[in-house]
Amino acid sequence: MEADNGGKIPFKKIFQKRKKSSERTRGKKLRQNRQLRKSMLPKNALMALNEVKGINISDFTINSNPDGGFTAIVTVNAAQYEGKGQSKMAAKNQACEKALRDYIIAKMMPRFKKLHTDVETDTNEAESTDTQPEDDVPMLNLASFAIYKLFAEWEREGFVVPEMHPTVASTSVQPVDPNSPSAAAPVIPKEPKKPPVRTELPPNWETMHPATLLCVMRPGLTYIDDGTVGNKPNIMQRLGVIVDDEEFVATGRSKKIARRNVAVSVCNTLFNTNFVYEA
């Protein structure tokens, strides 16, 4: 067949070797998703703001609050922002989030151009194409920060998100060559720094959500999903948490309510609060 066609591949065989359009589309989507995952890494407000072009950030001024926590003050593009948090980094991130918010919203505002009636039409068209501003809204930085906030919310609910700890995930999966000299002497990882433990309740604790108050008093806690109890339609979610080497368990109609109730149990037991359980 090839000899009869002068060494050319038959037209039908060309289409037989080509991938189907659905396979090509699937492969293209996988490559795009892989590229997006590499570029849109979770970044806190401070990191996202530092990577935005045209942003001038001054040095931070950190002050200790009399009721606990810190206040961070920073000037971004001649505007001053203030953030508060239980740690210096939390206060910095809150101030940077406000600056990033204002910068993004300002960039999204529509720009109106003045019409010049005394100039010829051709000249106007040439100038409009040359001076048309580019879309300079830093959507990649905004997306990275939005992903960070979403993952942080998941971690506050008790879930472990590997993307928030890339160094830990990479070191835990990294293979070790048995013939290498480092294999004989394994490296012992350093213990993570323990979060600060508060002994006094904040002055506005009565207006706070029990889970929020528990996060303030004992940051870094991880809720444990203990499954469900009961039978349909009266199935209850069961969550637990270990605080100060003591285990607390509570139930609720949903995981959100169960998390609130277990926080109520901890706060009422350890901090002498008077929160009410939610049925």
Report the distance separating Cα 262 and Cα 38, nearest Å.
Answer: 37
Average pLDDT score over residue span 244-265: 91
Domains of the chain, residue spans: 40-111+138-163, 206-270
8 Å CB contact between 249 and 240 = yes
Which of 22-31, 217-226, 270-279 is most confident? 270-279
How would you class 25 by CB atoms within 10 Å of its CB: exposed for 0-12, middle for 13-18, buried for 19 or more? Answer: exposed
Is the confidence at residue 159, as pLDDT, over 80? no
Q: What tens digit of pLDDT does each residue of 36-82 get? A: 777 788 888 888 888 888 888 888 899 988 877 899 999 998 899 99
- Amino acid symbol at 175: P
pLDDT for the residue 199: 79
pLDDT band at 34 (very low <50, low <70, confident <90, very high): confident
Cα–Cα distance, 107 to 53 (Å, whole number): 12
Q: Which CATH number fits domain 206-270: 3.40.50.10320, 3.30.160.20, 1.10.645.10, 1.10.10.60?
A: 3.30.160.20
The least confident of 33-42, 43-52, 224-233, 239-248 is 33-42
Mean pLDDT of 183-195: 54
Task: Give percent of the chain above pLDDT 90.
Answer: 18
Residue 100, both tokens: 């990033």
Reported confidence tier of residue 20, pLDDT bands at 50, 70, 90 = low
Q: Which CATH architecture does the domain made up of 40-111+138-163 adopt?
A: 2-Layer Sandwich (3.30)
Report residue 56 as tokens. Answer: 């001038």
pLDDT at site 115 = 39
Pairing of strands 79-85, 224-229: unpaired
- Residue 118 confidence (pLDDT) above 80: no
